[in-house]
């Protein structure tokens, strides 16, 4: 589900310095993804 996808994404970002830099430079995108994941989780539940 959405939580598994979020955890997998977090692990990938933890291993990727480039990914971390992108998230740091564009926090709005990460917030938007979090909102989408929460919405998906509500619909999934």
Determine if the pTM surpasses 0.75: no
How far apart CA 8 and CA 26 sit, in angstroms, is: 19
3-state SS, residue 28: helix
Residue 43 is predicted with a pLDDT of: 60
Consecutive 10-residue averages of pLDDT for the chain (45 residues)? 75 66 69 80 61
């Amino acid at each position: 589900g959405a939580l598994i996808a979020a955890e997998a994404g977090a692990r990938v970002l933890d291993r990727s310095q480039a990914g971390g830099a992108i998230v740091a430079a564009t926090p709005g995108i990460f917030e938007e993804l979090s909102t989408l994941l929460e919405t998906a989780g509500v619909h999934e539940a």
